[in-house]
């Protein structure tokens, strides 16, 4: 189910059943001549699209957060780099998260795929989430932590908004991890080959002139990309359905 396609009665039912909301967050940034500038966002969407198909009544896909700080690390604006202000991302995300809680949702997940757990996008989104959580609890008065958590307006307040990554809920037991990612290199290239093969043009990459982080892109294997994509999807499905490993 997609949030923007819900009719009011469907929205009410989803809230009543405590259905989680998921959204992808990425950026628009140069990823080399062989990949689209929206690679980070597209990888997140590839995962969540497959998650939604596996549990169509078990999650709601919200409109993604497509822009984030890039600091022009990989390229210039003319090459497709859109360096979004972290302050603007924070304010926009905060508004989105707050409005989702006003609708009644109590399980909000963001699949953030850009700059890692300590990058500016993740920090901006976490700050937005923290602001919303703090605002929600203000109305509860002092000493609300002394109450039975089940009686609180939002029992799982500290799990209200989760900023996660592609493999945050995956089980690496018995595997050689972590999953390869790397900016525009083998990891992201094979994930794109698995999710959006028509958008990849590996022949456009000349490794003799490419920066170091693109050198291993030709090693990308479709099958490996499919396996890692499935690996991420499994983890998200397990988290959203409450299944235990």
Beta bridge partners of 79: none
Taking 90 as the threshold, does the pLDDT of residue 243 lie above it? no
Bond from prior residue into 178 cis (ω within 30 degrees of 0): yes
Q: What per-residue confidence (pLDDT) applies to 244?
A: 56
Q: Which residues contact 32 (CB under 8 A, 6 or more apart)?
A: 184, 205, 210, 214, 217
pLDDT tens digits for range 96-154: 999 999 999 999 999 999 998 899 999 999 999 999 999 999 999 999 999 898 899 99
Is 137 among the domain residues?
Answer: yes
Is 171 among the domain residues?
Answer: yes
CATH number of the CATH domain containing 39: 3.40.50.10310
Is 223 among the domain residues?
Answer: no
Is 109 among the domain residues?
Answer: yes
Count up the domains in the chain and report the number.
Answer: 1
Is 204 among the domain residues?
Answer: no
Mean pLDDT of 216-227: 97
Consecutive H or E run containing 133: helix 120-138
Is 88 among the domain residues?
Answer: yes
Helices 86-103, 120-138: axis angle to 10 degrees equals 40
How many C-beta atoms surround the C-beta of residue 70 within 10 A?
Answer: 25
Is 202 among the domain residues?
Answer: no
pLDDT tens digits for range 34-79: 999 999 999 999 999 999 999 988 999 999 999 999 999 999 999 9
Query: What is the rounded distance in angstroms from the CA atom of residue 93 to the CA atom of residue 25?
Result: 10
Find, among 66, 77, 71, 85, the residue nearest to 26 by Cα.
66
Sheet holding 108-112, edge to edge: 60-61, 21-25, 108-112, 161-164
Taking 60 as the threshold, does the pLDDT of residue 92 lie above it? yes
Range of the domain at 45: 3-175+230-241
3-state secondary structure 136-182: HHHCCCCCHHHCCHHHCCCCCHHHCEEEECCCCCCCCCCCCCCCCCC
Is 201 among the domain residues?
Answer: no
């Amino acid at each position: 189910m997609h949030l923007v396609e819900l009719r009011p009665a469907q929205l009410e039912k989803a809230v009543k059943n405590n259905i989680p909301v998921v959204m992808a967050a990425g950026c628009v940034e140069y990823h080399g001549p062989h990949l689209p500038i929206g690679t980070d966002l597209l990888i997140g969407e590839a995962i969540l699209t497959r998650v939604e198909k596996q549990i169509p009544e078990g999650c709601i896909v919200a409109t993604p957060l497509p822009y984030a700080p890039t600091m022009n690390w990989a390229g210039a604006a003319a090459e497709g780099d859109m360096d979004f202000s972290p302050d603007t991302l924070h304010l926009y995300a905060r508004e989105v998260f707050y409005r989702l809680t006003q609708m009644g949702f109590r399980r909000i997940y963001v699949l953030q795929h850009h700059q890692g757990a300590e990058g500016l996008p993740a920090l901006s989104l976490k700050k937005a989430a923290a602001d919303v959580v703090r605002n929600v609890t203000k109305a509860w008065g002092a000493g609300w932590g002394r109450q039975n958590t089940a009686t609180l307006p939002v029992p799982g307040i500290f799990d209200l908004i989760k900023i996660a990554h592609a493999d945050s809920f995956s089980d690496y037991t018995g595997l050689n991890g972590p999953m390869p990612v790397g900016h525009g290199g083998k990891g992201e290239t094979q994930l794109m080959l698995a999710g959006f093969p028509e958008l990849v043009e590996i022949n456009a990459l000349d490794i003799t002139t490419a920066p170091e982080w693109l050198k291993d892109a030709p090693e990308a294997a479709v099958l490996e990309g499919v396996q890692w994509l499935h690996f991420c999807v499994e983890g998200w499905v397990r988290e959203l359905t409450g299944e235990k490993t």
